[in-house]
Protein backbone atom coordinates (compact mmCIF):
# COMPACT_ATOMS: atom_id res chain seq x y z
CA UNK A 1 0.00 0.00 0.00
CA UNK A 2 1.32 3.47 -0.86
CA UNK A 3 2.80 5.67 1.82
CA UNK A 4 -0.07 7.58 3.39
CA UNK A 5 0.03 11.37 3.31
CA UNK A 6 -0.20 13.17 6.65
CA UNK A 7 -2.15 16.39 6.26
CA UNK A 8 -0.97 19.83 7.30
CA UNK A 9 -3.06 20.31 10.49
CA UNK A 10 -1.24 17.33 12.04
CA UNK A 11 2.13 18.82 11.07
CA UNK A 12 1.73 22.49 11.96
CA UNK A 13 0.17 21.96 15.41
CA UNK A 14 3.11 20.04 16.95
CA UNK A 15 5.57 22.47 15.32
CA UNK A 16 3.76 25.33 17.09
CA UNK A 17 4.03 23.41 20.34
CA UNK A 18 7.76 22.95 19.83
CA UNK A 19 8.14 26.67 19.18
CA UNK A 20 6.64 27.33 22.63
CA UNK A 21 9.60 25.37 24.00
CA UNK A 22 12.08 27.39 21.98
CA UNK A 23 12.70 24.81 19.24
CA UNK A 24 12.19 26.15 15.71
CA UNK A 25 10.44 24.31 12.90
CA UNK A 26 13.48 24.88 10.64
CA UNK A 27 15.73 23.06 13.08
CA UNK A 28 13.37 20.10 13.43
CA UNK A 29 12.79 19.89 9.69
CA UNK A 30 16.51 19.89 8.94
CA UNK A 31 17.36 17.28 11.57
CA UNK A 32 14.61 15.03 10.21
CA UNK A 33 16.20 15.34 6.74
CA UNK A 34 13.06 16.72 5.10
CA UNK A 35 12.85 18.83 1.96
CA UNK A 36 12.90 22.49 3.19
CA UNK A 37 10.55 23.53 0.38
CA UNK A 38 7.78 21.45 1.98
CA UNK A 39 7.96 23.42 5.22
CA UNK A 40 7.09 26.70 3.50
CA UNK A 41 4.30 25.14 1.42
CA UNK A 42 1.04 25.32 3.44
CA UNK A 43 -0.56 22.66 1.24
CA UNK A 44 2.24 20.11 1.44
CA UNK A 45 1.80 16.94 3.45
CA UNK A 46 4.29 14.29 4.52
CA UNK A 47 4.54 10.59 3.92
CA UNK A 48 3.97 8.45 7.00
CA UNK A 49 7.65 7.45 7.32
CA UNK A 50 8.81 11.09 7.03
CA UNK A 51 6.18 12.15 9.55
CA UNK A 52 7.19 9.46 12.04
CA UNK A 53 10.80 10.62 11.73
CA UNK A 54 9.80 14.26 12.26
CA UNK A 55 7.80 13.42 15.39
CA UNK A 56 10.62 11.35 16.82
CA UNK A 57 13.05 14.23 16.27
CA UNK A 58 10.57 16.70 17.78
CA UNK A 59 10.23 14.71 21.02
CA UNK A 60 14.00 14.34 21.35
CA UNK A 61 14.82 17.98 20.57
CA UNK A 62 12.09 19.31 22.84
CA UNK A 63 12.68 16.67 25.52
CA UNK A 64 8.90 16.63 25.83
CA UNK A 65 6.59 13.87 24.65
CA UNK A 66 3.65 16.24 25.19
CA UNK A 67 5.22 18.54 22.55
CA UNK A 68 4.76 21.73 24.55
CA UNK A 69 0.98 21.23 24.50
CA UNK A 70 0.45 20.32 28.18
CA UNK A 71 1.02 22.35 31.37
CA UNK A 72 3.94 20.06 32.28
CA UNK A 73 6.68 18.31 30.33
CA UNK A 74 6.93 14.58 29.79
CA UNK A 75 10.67 13.96 29.44
CA UNK A 76 11.81 11.97 26.44
CA UNK A 77 11.73 8.29 27.36
CA UNK A 78 8.75 8.51 29.73
CA UNK A 79 6.46 6.62 27.35
CA UNK A 80 9.04 3.86 27.03
CA UNK A 81 9.31 3.54 30.81
CA UNK A 82 5.53 3.36 31.11
CA UNK A 83 5.46 0.56 28.53
CA UNK A 84 8.13 -1.33 30.44
CA UNK A 85 6.04 -0.97 33.58
CA UNK A 86 2.92 -2.49 31.98
CA UNK A 87 4.37 -5.20 29.72
CA UNK A 88 4.25 -7.79 32.52
CA UNK A 89 0.56 -7.18 33.27
CA UNK A 90 -1.86 -10.08 32.93
CA UNK A 91 -4.69 -8.35 31.05
CA UNK A 92 -5.50 -5.14 29.21
CA UNK A 93 -7.45 -3.87 32.21
CA UNK A 94 -4.47 -4.54 34.47
CA UNK A 95 -2.17 -2.73 32.02
CA UNK A 96 -4.40 0.34 31.69
CA UNK A 97 -4.78 0.69 35.45
CA UNK A 98 -1.01 0.41 35.91
CA UNK A 99 -0.45 2.99 33.16
CA UNK A 100 -2.91 5.26 34.96
CA UNK A 101 -0.95 4.92 38.20
CA UNK A 102 2.32 5.56 36.34
CA UNK A 103 1.23 8.90 34.86
CA UNK A 104 -0.36 9.89 38.17
CA UNK A 105 3.19 10.18 39.49
CA UNK A 106 3.60 13.35 37.38
CA UNK A 107 1.41 16.13 38.74
CA UNK A 108 -0.56 17.90 36.00
CA UNK A 109 0.27 15.32 33.31
CA UNK A 110 -2.49 14.05 31.02
CA UNK A 111 -3.77 10.69 32.19
CA UNK A 112 -6.55 8.19 31.55
CA UNK A 113 -9.55 7.04 33.56
CA UNK A 114 -11.66 3.94 32.95
CA UNK A 115 -15.41 4.35 33.36
CA UNK A 116 -16.91 0.88 33.13
CA UNK A 117 -20.27 -0.78 33.14
CA UNK A 118 -21.18 -4.33 32.24
CA UNK A 119 -21.14 -3.78 28.47
CA UNK A 120 -19.25 -0.58 27.67
CA UNK A 121 -16.08 1.12 28.89
CA UNK A 122 -14.98 4.69 28.33
CA UNK A 123 -11.25 5.27 28.28
CA UNK A 124 -11.42 8.93 29.24
CA UNK A 125 -8.57 11.42 28.97
CA UNK A 126 -7.94 13.49 32.08
CA UNK A 127 -6.27 16.53 30.60
CA UNK A 128 -5.92 20.30 30.92
CA UNK A 129 -6.66 21.39 27.35
CA UNK A 130 -5.88 25.11 27.82
CA UNK A 131 -2.38 24.67 26.36
CA UNK A 132 -3.64 22.57 23.43
CA UNK A 133 -5.43 25.14 21.23
CA UNK A 134 -5.35 23.01 18.07
CA UNK A 135 -6.46 19.85 19.96
CA UNK A 136 -3.44 18.01 18.62
CA UNK A 137 -2.39 16.53 21.96
CA UNK A 138 -5.95 15.33 22.53
CA UNK A 139 -6.02 13.75 19.08
CA UNK A 140 -2.64 12.14 19.63
CA UNK A 141 -3.47 10.70 23.04
CA UNK A 142 -6.73 9.20 21.79
CA UNK A 143 -4.89 7.59 18.88
CA UNK A 144 -1.99 6.34 21.02
CA UNK A 145 -4.10 4.78 23.78
CA UNK A 146 -6.24 2.91 21.27
CA UNK A 147 -3.35 1.64 19.16
CA UNK A 148 -1.15 0.83 22.15
CA UNK A 149 -4.01 -1.20 23.64
CA UNK A 150 -4.50 -3.04 20.35
CA UNK A 151 -0.78 -3.81 20.14
CA UNK A 152 -0.65 -5.08 23.72
CA UNK A 153 -3.33 -7.71 23.12
CA UNK A 154 -2.26 -8.54 19.58
CA UNK A 155 -5.55 -7.61 17.91
CA UNK A 156 -7.52 -4.54 16.93
CA UNK A 157 -9.58 -3.27 19.87
CA UNK A 158 -13.10 -2.51 18.57
CA UNK A 159 -13.52 1.25 18.72
CA UNK A 160 -17.25 1.95 18.99
CA UNK A 161 -17.13 5.72 19.34
CA UNK A 162 -14.71 8.59 19.90
CA UNK A 163 -15.86 11.55 21.98
CA UNK A 164 -14.19 14.97 21.73
CA UNK A 165 -14.78 17.75 24.25
CA UNK A 166 -14.31 20.48 21.66
CA UNK A 167 -16.33 21.68 18.66
CA UNK A 168 -15.57 20.05 15.31
CA UNK A 169 -12.30 21.59 14.07
CA UNK A 170 -11.78 22.65 10.47
CA UNK A 171 -9.98 19.37 9.78
CA UNK A 172 -12.73 17.21 11.34
CA UNK A 173 -13.13 15.44 8.00
CA UNK A 174 -9.73 13.82 8.61
CA UNK A 175 -10.93 12.11 11.79
CA UNK A 176 -12.28 9.13 9.86
CA UNK A 177 -8.73 8.49 8.70
CA UNK A 178 -7.53 8.72 12.30
CA UNK A 179 -10.20 6.59 13.95
CA UNK A 180 -12.35 4.84 11.31
CA UNK A 181 -15.33 5.05 13.68
CA UNK A 182 -18.05 7.59 14.55
CA UNK A 183 -16.79 10.75 16.28
CA UNK A 184 -18.98 13.01 18.43
CA UNK A 185 -17.84 16.56 19.16
CA UNK A 186 -18.90 18.85 22.00
CA UNK A 187 -18.81 16.03 24.55
CA UNK A 188 -18.05 16.53 28.26
CA UNK A 189 -14.63 14.89 27.85
CA UNK A 190 -12.31 13.25 25.36
CA UNK A 191 -12.79 9.49 25.37
CA UNK A 192 -12.69 6.17 23.54
CA UNK A 193 -15.73 3.89 23.82
CA UNK A 194 -14.82 0.19 23.73
CA UNK A 195 -16.59 -3.06 24.72
CA UNK A 196 -15.91 -3.94 28.35
CA UNK A 197 -15.22 -7.54 27.34
CA UNK A 198 -11.88 -6.58 25.74
CA UNK A 199 -10.46 -5.52 29.12
CA UNK A 200 -10.09 -9.19 30.04
CA UNK A 201 -7.93 -9.95 26.97
CA UNK A 202 -4.46 -11.19 27.99
CA UNK A 203 -1.33 -9.20 27.20
CA UNK A 204 0.27 -11.11 24.32
CA UNK A 205 3.44 -9.04 23.98
CA UNK A 206 6.77 -9.70 25.68
CA UNK A 207 9.76 -7.64 26.80
CA UNK A 208 11.49 -8.73 23.58
CA UNK A 209 8.66 -7.57 21.33
CA UNK A 210 8.45 -4.36 23.37
CA UNK A 211 12.08 -3.54 22.57
CA UNK A 212 11.30 -3.78 18.84
CA UNK A 213 8.09 -1.78 19.30
CA UNK A 214 9.86 1.07 21.07
CA UNK A 215 12.36 1.60 18.26
CA UNK A 216 9.68 3.55 16.39
CA UNK A 217 6.77 4.11 18.79
CA UNK A 218 4.77 6.08 19.60
CA UNK A 219 5.79 8.18 16.57
CA UNK A 220 4.77 5.50 14.08
CA UNK A 221 1.37 5.10 15.76
CA UNK A 222 0.59 8.73 15.02
CA UNK A 223 1.69 8.25 11.42
CA UNK A 224 -0.55 5.28 10.69
CA UNK A 225 -3.70 6.33 8.80
CA UNK A 226 -5.87 3.51 10.11
CA UNK A 227 -6.45 2.07 13.60
CA UNK A 228 -5.67 -1.39 12.23
CA UNK A 229 -2.88 -2.11 9.77
CA UNK A 230 -4.97 -4.98 8.51
CA UNK A 231 -7.37 -6.12 5.84
CA UNK A 232 -10.11 -5.56 8.41
CA UNK A 233 -9.18 -1.89 8.69
CA UNK A 234 -8.93 -1.43 4.92
CA UNK A 235 -12.36 -2.99 4.39
CA UNK A 236 -13.92 -0.84 7.09
CA UNK A 237 -12.48 2.24 5.41
CA UNK A 238 -13.81 1.07 2.04
CA UNK A 239 -17.33 0.62 3.41
CA UNK A 240 -17.31 4.20 4.70
CA UNK A 241 -17.16 5.51 1.13
CA UNK A 242 -20.64 4.15 0.44
CA UNK A 243 -24.16 4.78 1.60
CA UNK A 244 -25.21 2.06 4.01
CA UNK A 245 -27.74 0.73 1.47
CA UNK A 246 -25.12 0.46 -1.29
CA UNK A 247 -22.24 -1.41 0.36
CA UNK A 248 -20.27 -3.43 -2.22
CA UNK A 249 -20.39 -7.22 -2.13
CA UNK A 250 -17.33 -9.40 -1.52
CA UNK A 251 -16.30 -9.65 -5.18
CA UNK A 252 -16.56 -5.90 -5.73
CA UNK A 253 -14.76 -5.16 -2.44
CA UNK A 254 -11.91 -7.52 -3.31
CA UNK A 255 -11.47 -5.83 -6.69
CA UNK A 256 -11.44 -2.38 -5.07
CA UNK A 257 -8.79 -3.56 -2.61
CA UNK A 258 -6.70 -5.08 -5.39
CA UNK A 259 -6.93 -8.71 -4.26
CA UNK A 260 -8.89 -11.80 -5.28
CA UNK A 261 -12.05 -12.81 -3.48
CA UNK A 262 -10.30 -15.91 -2.13
CA UNK A 263 -7.41 -13.82 -0.78
CA UNK A 264 -9.80 -11.38 0.87
CA UNK A 265 -11.65 -14.26 2.57
CA UNK A 266 -8.39 -15.85 3.71
CA UNK A 267 -6.95 -12.63 5.13
CA UNK A 268 -10.14 -11.86 7.01
CA UNK A 269 -10.18 -15.43 8.36
CA UNK A 270 -6.58 -14.98 9.52
CA UNK A 271 -7.72 -11.85 11.37
CA UNK A 272 -10.54 -13.85 12.99
CA UNK A 273 -13.38 -12.10 11.21
CA UNK A 274 -15.38 -12.39 7.99
CA UNK A 275 -16.73 -10.20 5.21
CA UNK A 276 -20.32 -10.59 6.41
CA UNK A 277 -19.39 -9.82 10.01
CA UNK A 278 -17.67 -6.56 9.01
CA UNK A 279 -20.58 -5.62 6.79
CA UNK A 280 -22.97 -6.23 9.67
CA UNK A 281 -20.76 -4.20 12.01
CA UNK A 282 -20.81 -1.31 9.55
CA UNK A 283 -24.61 -1.38 9.59
CA UNK A 284 -24.67 -1.54 13.38
CA UNK A 285 -22.25 1.38 13.71
CA UNK A 286 -24.65 3.36 11.56
CA UNK A 287 -27.41 2.22 13.90
CA UNK A 288 -25.54 3.55 16.94
CA UNK A 289 -25.25 6.96 15.28
CA UNK A 290 -28.94 7.05 14.43
CA UNK A 291 -29.95 5.84 17.89
CA UNK A 292 -28.17 8.87 19.33
CA UNK A 293 -30.64 11.00 17.35
CA UNK A 294 -33.65 10.80 19.63
CA UNK A 295 -36.15 11.80 16.94
CA UNK A 296 -35.63 8.65 14.85
CA UNK A 297 -37.72 5.61 15.81
CA UNK A 298 -36.02 2.26 16.25
CA UNK A 299 -38.37 0.71 13.71
CA UNK A 300 -37.36 3.33 11.10
CA UNK A 301 -33.67 2.73 11.85
CA UNK A 302 -34.11 -1.02 11.38
CA UNK A 303 -35.85 -0.49 8.02
CA UNK A 304 -33.17 1.97 6.86
CA UNK A 305 -30.48 -0.61 7.60
CA UNK A 306 -32.27 -3.29 5.61
CA UNK A 307 -33.75 -5.37 8.43
CA UNK A 308 -37.15 -6.71 7.41
CA UNK A 309 -38.04 -7.44 11.05
CA UNK A 310 -37.36 -5.07 13.94
CA UNK A 311 -36.82 -8.07 16.20
CA UNK A 312 -33.95 -9.26 13.97
CA UNK A 313 -32.32 -5.86 14.32
CA UNK A 314 -32.76 -6.02 18.12
CA UNK A 315 -31.03 -9.40 18.30
CA UNK A 316 -28.17 -8.33 16.02
CA UNK A 317 -27.58 -5.08 17.89
CA UNK A 318 -27.66 -6.76 21.30
CA UNK A 319 -25.19 -9.43 20.17
CA UNK A 320 -22.80 -6.78 18.84
CA UNK A 321 -23.12 -4.10 21.54
CA UNK A 322 -24.34 -6.08 24.54
CA UNK A 323 -27.37 -3.78 24.82
CA UNK A 324 -30.73 -3.63 23.08
CA UNK A 325 -31.27 -0.57 20.84
CA UNK A 326 -33.59 0.90 23.47
CA UNK A 327 -31.08 0.38 26.27
CA UNK A 328 -28.31 1.92 24.18
CA UNK A 329 -30.50 4.95 23.37
CA UNK A 330 -31.38 5.38 27.05
CA UNK A 331 -27.70 5.22 27.97
CA UNK A 332 -26.86 7.89 25.39
CA UNK A 333 -29.34 10.30 26.96
CA UNK A 334 -28.10 9.71 30.49
CA UNK A 335 -29.54 6.37 31.50
CA UNK A 336 -33.20 7.31 31.40
CA UNK A 337 -35.50 4.50 30.34
CA UNK A 338 -36.65 4.51 26.77
CA UNK A 339 -39.11 2.60 24.62
CA UNK A 340 -37.94 -0.11 22.31
CA UNK A 341 -39.82 1.06 19.22
> Of the candidates 154, 181, 210, which is a domain's last residue?
210
- What pLDDT score does 270 carry? 64
> Of the candidates 25, 41, 73, which is a domain's last residue?
73
Cis status, amide bond into 218, omega within 30 of 0: yes
Q: Say whether pTM exceeds 0.85.
A: no
- What's the domain range around 21? 5-73
**Shared-domain flag, residues 144 and 178:** yes
CATH code for the domain in which residue 287 is found: 1.10.10.60
N-to-C CA span, the chain: 44
**Shared-domain flag, residues 185 and 119:** yes
- Position 220 in a domain: no
**Shared-domain flag, residues 258 and 296:** yes
Q: Total domain count for the chain? A: 3
- Position 223 in a domain: no
- What pLDDT score does 336 carry? 42
> Of the candidates 22, 50, 73, which is a domain's last residue?
73
- What pLDDT score does 160 carry? 79
- Position 218 in a domain: no
**Shared-domain flag, residues 84 and 185:** yes
- Position 182 in a domain: yes
- What pLDDT score does 4 carry? 65
- What pLDDT score does 224 carry? 62
- Position 225 in a domain: no
> Mapped to the 3 state alphabet, what secondary structure does the chain carry?
CCCCEECCHHHHHHHHHHHHCCCCHHHHHHHCCCCHHHHCCCCCCEEHHHHHHHHHHHHHHHCCCCCCCCCCCCCCCHHHHHHHHHCCCCEHHHHHHHHHHHHCCCCCCCEEEEEECCCEEEEEEECCHHHCCCCHHHHHHHHHHHHHHHHHHCCCCCCCEEECCCCCCCCHHHHHHHHCCCEECCCCCCEEEEEHHHHHCECCCCHHHHHHHCCCCCHHHHHCCCCCCCHHHHHHHHHCCCCHHHCCCHHHHHHHHCCCHHHHHHHHHHCCCCHHHHHHHHHHHHHHHHHCCCCCCHHHHHHHCCCCCHHHHHHHHHHHHCCCHHHHHHHHCCCCCCCCC
Angle at CA of residue 317, ends 316 and 320, nearest 5°:
85
For the chain, 341 residues long, give each residue's pLDDT as a single digit of tens: 344 678 899 999 999 999 999 999 999 999 999 999 999 898 888 988 899 899 999 999 999 999 999 999 999 999 999 999 999 999 999 999 999 999 999 999 999 999 998 888 999 999 999 999 999 999 999 999 999 998 898 877 878 789 999 999 988 888 877 887 778 899 999 999 988 988 999 999 999 889 988 887 887 777 765 544 467 767 877 887 888 888 999 999 999 999 999 999 988 876 567 898 888 878 887 887 788 776 788 898 888 888 888 898 888 888 777 778 888 888 766 644 334 33
**Shared-domain flag, residues 46 and 92:** no
Amino acid sequence: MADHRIHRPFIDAPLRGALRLGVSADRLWARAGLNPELLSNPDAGLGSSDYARLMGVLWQECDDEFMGLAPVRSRYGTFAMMCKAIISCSSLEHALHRAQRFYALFEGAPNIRLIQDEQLTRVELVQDTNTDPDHFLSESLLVIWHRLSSWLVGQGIPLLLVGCSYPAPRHAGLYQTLFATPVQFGEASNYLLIPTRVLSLPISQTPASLRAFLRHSPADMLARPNPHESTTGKLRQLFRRYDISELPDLAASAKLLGVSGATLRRRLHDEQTSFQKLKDECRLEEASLRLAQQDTSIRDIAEHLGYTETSTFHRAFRKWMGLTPGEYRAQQRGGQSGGEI
